Amino acid sequence: TRFAPSPTGFLHIGGVRTALYNELVARQSDGDFILRIEDTDQTRFVEGATEDICVSLKRIGILPNEGVWIDDDGKIFERGLYGPYTQSKRTEKHRAYAQQLVEMRRAYYCFCSSERLDDLRKTQTLAHIPTMYDGACRTLSAEDIQSKLASGEKYVIRLKLPREGTIQMQDAILGEIKFDWSLIDDQIIIKSDGFATYHLAAMCDDHDMEITHVIRANEWVASTPKHIFIYESFGWELPIFAHLPLLLNPDHSKLSKRQGDVAAHEYIDKGYMPEALINFLSLLGFNPTGDRELYSHEELISLFDLTKVNKAGAVFNAEKLHWMNEQYIRILPIEKYIALTREFIVTEEKDEIFIQRCLIGVRDRISLPSQVVELVQPFLQQDIEYSQVSIAWKKQTLDEARNRLIALREIIVGLQDMGVSELEAYIKNSISEKKWVVGETLWPLRVALSGEEKSSSPFELLWILGKERSLKRIDSAIDFLKG
């Protein structure tokens, strides 16, 4: 398989899904997954786009084993037996193939000026007929062609497609599709600048690189008859074609930047984990088993089935991605979780164990690593403001709440360093022994430690803050309740 993006800007998140599906099919079959850069449209080339494509795929973990790639120093290189893999470097090969098609009378020189073609389109538009080339140069004599070439007239080369009849194709996802040749334009395959268009270059390169599965975006369905025509003209064996459904916004419009992020690197930069992105994108149009939603990369390789990809467009549900990222954050080993989130905390606090406990304490409340900044801040602040919260529980008086905190303070003074579950068991046992009401005890304690009406449990807060910080906050709450 091959993923063959054009270096005309950042890698689109939809392109990542295309790359992923290609990678899954290749790995599943113990085959090769190639990254090819299709840069024959030099007018749209964007500096740095190839690097963005490679770096984005690398960071997500979709790794081609052949083709264009990037080293640790950011330098682009190529590897594999079927290079070059940058399409513009294959220009002579493409021209040779085009010349063969001309000699087989499956393509022809077209000398029509851009002015004539513009006038033709305007006339066809006014007449409400399809805008397509009228074939004026299809019947030029060999003498006329040679004369024009000799005089240096500009030309393109077009496919000489059938004018009548139909063509049928089998798509691994869409099934059987029929096209009417009369509605298909004589496609330009060599432009006036000498570069091949996608239609010739991609098909010739796919053949030369022994691509068995052409898995690409749905937008290429209408062009497939032209591609089959090229294959059949040379007598080549057709690859399996599979056209992926579009990615859609929630309003079912085509996924676009107007309604959210579409660049792959934006998702990575925001802290979406590679495992979550791969899992999420794989399910946009495909459901391996239907009984769960979390799959490892290796599981997806074994379960993926092109024939089970949905025909309809898939809605890009950002909330689902948030949820999925949250699940993967929760199952990260503690060391990796801390490494992922620690860089977001900028503080003068020197106690690294305390900072790490803060991060662990908010782990179940984040879907993106950057969210720890806001969630950890209440733990790091030195002075707690209690004027906006109720330390007393329900009908409990302020004096009762204060006395309960004083009693709790004596218990906490004698505590050794414990885990959250041990702290919970110890304090609940003390509550039971003293026959205290649970709410009248734990509510004041939790608010005293957090300064908030909604927070982590008091046992988690005690563990995160440690004895010294906990006592300091309890003292502040007792002083506040003096009035």
Helices marked H in 166-223: 198-208
- C-beta neighbour count of 245 within 10 angstroms: 19
Strand residues in 211-351 grouped as ranges (E): 213-217, 240-244, 247-248, 314-315
The distance from CA 98 to its chain's CA centroid, rounded to whole angstroms, is 36
Q: How far is the C-alpha of 285 from the C-alpha of 246, rounded, in Å?
A: 9
Spot the catalytic one: 257, 308, 311, 434. Answer: 257
Radius of gyration of the CA atoms of the chain, in A: 32
Q: What is the 3-class SS of 361-406, one letter each residue?
A: HCHHHCCCHHHHHHHHHHHHCCCCCCCCCCCCCCCCCHHHHHHHHH
Task: Give CB contacts under 8 A, 24+ apart, made by 361-364.
Answer: 361/456, 361/460, 361/461, 361/463, 361/464, 362/456, 363/329, 363/330, 363/337, 364/330
The verdict on whether omega for the bond into residue 84 sits within 30 degrees of 0, i.e. cis, is: yes
Q: How far apart are CA 88 and CA 305, in angstroms?
A: 33
Nearest to 38 by CA among 64, 62, 2: 2
Smallest CA-to-CA distance from 230 within 102, 353, 92 is with 102
Q: Please confirm, yes or no, whether 257 is among the known catalytic residues.
A: yes
CA 35 from chain centre, in angstroms, equals 17
For 162, residues 6+ apart whose C-beta sits below 8 A from its C-beta are 181
In eight-state DSSP terms, residue 12 is: B
Just list the catalytic residues: 257
